[in-house]
A and B are shown apart, each in its own frame.
Chain A
Amino acid sequence: MADIPPPLQGPTAKEKKYDRQLRLWGATGQIALENSHILLINSGPGVVGLETLKNLVLPGAGTFTIQDSAVVDEADLGVNFFLEEKHLGGFRAEHTCVLLKELNPDVQGHSISEPVESWLTQPDALKPYSLIIVTAPIQPDLLAKLAAHADQALVPLFYIHSVGFYSHFSIHLPPAFPIVDTHPSPETTTDLRLLKPWPELIAYAEEKTKGIESMAADDHGHIPYVAILLHYLQVWKKEHNGEVPNNYKDKTAFRHLVTAATRTDTPEGGEENFEEAVSAVLKSLNAPEPSSTVKEIFKVPECVIIRDNSPPFWVIAHAIGLFYTKYGVLPVPGAVPDMKARSADYIQLQNVYKSKARKDLAEVLESVRFLERNANMSTHIEEKDVEAFCKNAAHIKLVRGRPFHVVPAEGDLKFGANAKSLAPGSSDADFDSDTEKMTSTALKLVDSLVKEASYTIDEDEYDTIRAQIAELAQELVRAGGGELHNIAALTGGMVSQEVIKVITEQYVPVDNTCVFDGVRSKSSVFRV
């Protein structure tokens, strides 16, 4: 066996090309991306939408389509990277599509140059698309039509607007958008169940700490810290009527107990494993209680009532809810952080956690199968999906998508379909009057919001808000509806991150509106 030269198990060409992103969203995320068909409805200077698409074509989104009826003019060349001089006078959709396709031969691209008003009247015009991005300006009735489609077909819809130094985007997700693979930060995922150990874990700790007082130095210095903590918890409980250290004061006292047990007659003057034990006290000695967001998920209607067409997420969530009701804890995730220990002892500990995780999984799986039978489901949920859910059960998220509030066209500031010429501040002659109009419209909105929220506002605060709004309006009008490439590129980066999160159903998307201020380099997220 040893004489046979090892085969070259190198990565495939695709794995090589996408290596840096596969380390983030893995093969399943990549497949979801490759199966997507993204529609961009482009307008205005048209930069932010294309910069968004660029960041989706590069990582290999399957297919994109650009709907844009604009004709390339000179101003496009100063702001849009995906157009060249020779394209002047041609359809913007067509040429940007070609130059974007160049970025990745694995991606298909199509263009539609028909005006959006007539194109949208075709039946099933939106049917092929799994995600829609629309850039402002767009007529409110058309946006309402897109929102209605998103609502009915459960297709995620993104709305982006980039003007001068400011930008904003909103995401309309389906009413239930659950995420299992939220990629929580590694520091938050350790779940060792030290306060609720099961018999095998207790037995492990006893075995590893047997005769701890008289243990040889090298053995003592290699007891895994999990065993150390479990051992001294027993000691503590004996002295405290069987109670574990519950509050900060107790935990501090318990920490002293462990510190005092550290041997100092070693060449290093201490023991690394005991140091690890001491520093783990505050964060590991917590009751393994699920967060309120997770407990909320068990109570929502989709989770409570399982039907034959319930998506797998809800079936598994229901099963895990049953597990929680029965045991008061979530299934053991099974991961063990690295710690000072001998290889064999560590692997043994890992196996204690893994076997428990497998046992819990088996129980959840049994409930899942029961639910499937009960609801007469025709297909089985894959075991690996149940396993992934159990592993991350403490960090699942549910985002409730909400439709856009589309304001009908009225008042002083109308944005036509061809807003290039109509945007406030387009011409120097109207600059001052446009600023005034926009300020007064914004102030009217503020007044109605204040009224709607029955918020009492004092005179000083109101004056400050009015002054700020006047400034923001002036800065917006300054750009005259034009895009700055940097702000469009930055916003395109943000939106493409969100699109990837939504398509791969990994990480947690913005819920549901984000504003970027390029003057101060700050962003804010709002739920509207």
Chain B
Amino acid sequence: MAAADVAPLPNGSEGTRTRWKYLDRILDRPGPFTDPDSFAPGNHETLEIAKVLHSGAGGLGCEILKNLALSGFKDIHVIDMDTIDVSNLNRQFLFRAADVGKYKAEVAAAFVEKRVKGVSITPYCGKIQDKDEAYYKQFALIVCGLDSIEARRWINSMLVGMVDGNDPDSMKPLIDGGTEGFKGQAKVIFPTMTSCIECQLDMHAPRAAVPLCTLATIPRQPQHCIEWAHIIAWEEERKEITLDTDDPEHITWLFQKALKRAEEFNIPGVTYSMTQGVVKNIIPAIASTNAIVAASCCNEAFKILTNANPFLGFPGTDGYMMYTGDESVYTYTFEYEKKEDCPVCGEDALARPLQIDPEATLQEFVDSLAERPEAQLKTPSIRTTEKSLYIQSAADYERMTRPNLEKKMKDLTAEGEEMLISDKAFPMMFKFSVVWKK
């Protein structure tokens, strides 16, 4: 047992760690579940010198910054490219009405730095993609509170790619959280050792898009009318203006269009709020759920770096916690198996089988890649071992390969052939083998 170094003095000007009295009990005393080989009682340095990165200063991000600072971390970095919107204020508690329009990362960092003495928070107002391996390498771990699956996949593949078998320090644990309404999840990934975001991609399947012909000819739901205004009417009537979903005039225009179309078809239920929800793909979010998921992420970060208790994600143990609060409280903690043919962390040589309709055109196949749970690629470039089918990464290639879009898949490739797909959103290649859909 470490001696108490926190003898209370009367006037509030005590020793440097007096304020960490509660935290230090945990750091100074081993518990029944701590691993004696990895836990050193009385070690306060690890937390003080560890550099941690947090990406996303939104709903989860505000909570995560607060939690990291009050977990004893001293050197925190935060990345976020967004500015503050009025609809953030119901949960992003580091922002005030006067901050609307300012960069989230900057305001959040300054707030927490001021509130929690002794912590340094370095903001970067930009994209995670602006940063390279050397940047990510400086951190002990990375916590993510991102709102897009693309960003998660990007950082995941960056961290997996950084792992060098000869350098244990090159493996950076990734802790990721997400919420929707009263539900949320927190997970820990040890790149290359445990299943990665890409392995788990089918858990983040996008909602199936409504077929274009339904929107164009037989709408039935208010959402169909809104999508029609969004995808078809805008293109036809206001092509010269770039749609800005944050511009109330634009949303109002879409709403009016959708409303008029709904009236033509006797469809009830189009509202301004629904228009906004559909066009911006709004996911309901509340402070409570952010608090649960963010704290779970930070609890794991704290345990990983201090070894104060076992953490999620140790290979062969649970790495994923799902929280559901709609009906009573239910948590499910489990291990997600690593996929051997994962394009990011799996064996290089393995190609995953991909079912393709031989009668579909290449255009239809390209469109389907955005929705297929195992791919989710919006701007794919496709090659087979024989030829380039469609390349959209460069304008010249795009023009040259465009005529292929009308051809049928059976005329472009063959069963069993290997297909390489890349996407500018991701730094890696996806390797598939063609399987004809019966």
Contacts and interface: CB of A to CB of B under 8 A. Distances in A.
Interface of A: 6, 8-11, 13, 15-24, 45, 51, 54-55, 58-60, 73-79, 81, 84-85, 88-89, 102-105, 164-165, 182-183, 185, 222, 338-339, 341-344, 346-347, 425, 427-428, 431, 470-472, 474-475, 478-480, 482-487, 489-490, 492-494, 496-498, 500-501, 507-511, 514, 518-523, 525
Contacts of A11: 272-273, 276
A425 B1 CA distance: 12
A100 B86 CA distance: 19
Contacts of B117: 77, 85
Given A17-B86, A479-B26, A483-B22, 19 more contacts: A20-B87, A58-B89, A59-B287, A78-B20, A78-B21, A78-B70, A78-B72, A185-B326, A342-B218, A343-B219, A347-B220, A347-B267, A431-B1, A482-B22, A487-B299, A493-B290, A518-B299, A518-B309, A522-B331
28 contacts: A6-B252, A9-B272, A19-B282, A21-B285, A23-B282, A58-B93, A59-B91, A60-B90, A75-B21, A78-B21, A79-B22, A103-B93, A104-B89, A183-B326, A338-B220, A341-B220, A343-B219, A431-B1, A471-B32, A478-B29, A478-B30, A490-B291, A490-B292, A501-B325, A507-B326, A522-B331, A522-B333, A525-B329
B282 A519 contact: no
B126 interface: no
Interface string B113-132: 00111000000000000000
Contacts of B33: 471, 475, 519
A182 B28 CA distance: 46
A303 B288 CA distance: 34
B203 interface: no
Contact of A489 (B3, B63, B221): B63
Contact of A20 (B4, B32, B91, B116): B91
Count chain B CB atoms within 10 A of each CB in A9, A76, A497, A509 and give the residue with the most.
A497
Contacts of A75: 18-19, 21-22
Given A475-B31, A480-B25, A521 B296 contact: yes
A479 B326 contact: no
Nearest to B310: A519
Contacts of A6: 252, 256
A484 B284 contact: no
Interface string B294-321: 1110111010000001101000001001
Closest 9 pairs (CB-CB, A-B): A482-B22, A493-B291, A490-B295, A78-B19, A493-B292, A485-B70, A471-B32, A489-B295, A486-B299
B139 interface: no
A81 B248 CA distance: 36
A17 B256 contact: no
A353 B309 CA distance: 56
A232 to B, nearest CB: 22
B25 A482 contact: yes
A428 B1 contact: yes
A450 B248 CA distance: 64
B260 to A, nearest CB: 9
